[in-house]
Amino acid sequence: MAHQNKPETLWTVSLLDIHTADYVLEVGFGPGTGIEFIANRATGGFTAGVDVSQTMLEEAVKRNDSAIRAGRVELKRGDVASLPYPNEFFHKAMSIHSIYSGRNLWRD
């Protein structure tokens, strides 16, 4: 997944025009490659992510271990419908390949 999705992940990150001090959120971070690319640009900021999959959380934590230990990255298992961050906390956000794998938020 990390290798297969790399081109569109890099493209999406490039569209965000990330600056050093940006706070950036990725929804549905998968194996954490987008988080890694973002954190490498927002070196004085903060990068966070939520994903519903425990397996993806574990993979992303392994990939981003040093940035997590440095306090620059935070990854959580969670749902975009109830983000564990205050409103207007992030400057930018992204999500790719997540809508079709997320739960149906429009059910009654």
pTM for the model: 0.86
How many whole angstroms separate alpha carbon 51 and alpha carbon 41? 21
Nearest to 34 by CA among 59, 71, 70: 59
How many whole angstroms separate alpha carbon 102 and alpha carbon 108? 16
Give the homologous superfamily in CATH for domain 6-98.
Answer: Vaccinia Virus protein VP39 (3.40.50.150)
Q: Is the pLDDT assigned to residue 39 strictly greater than 90?
A: yes
User: What are the pLDDT digits (tens) for 52-88?
Assistant: 999 999 999 999 999 999 999 999 998 888 888 999 9
Report the run of H or E that residue 50 belongs to, with start and end. strand 46-51
98: tokens are 């997540």
Q: Is the pLDDT assigned to residue 3 strictly greater than 80?
A: no
Answer for the pair 49, 75: CB distance below 8 angstroms, yes or no: yes
80: tokens are 């975009």
Confidence at residue 23, expressed as pLDDT on a 0 to 100 scale: 98
Confidence at residue 106, expressed as pLDDT on a 0 to 100 scale: 41
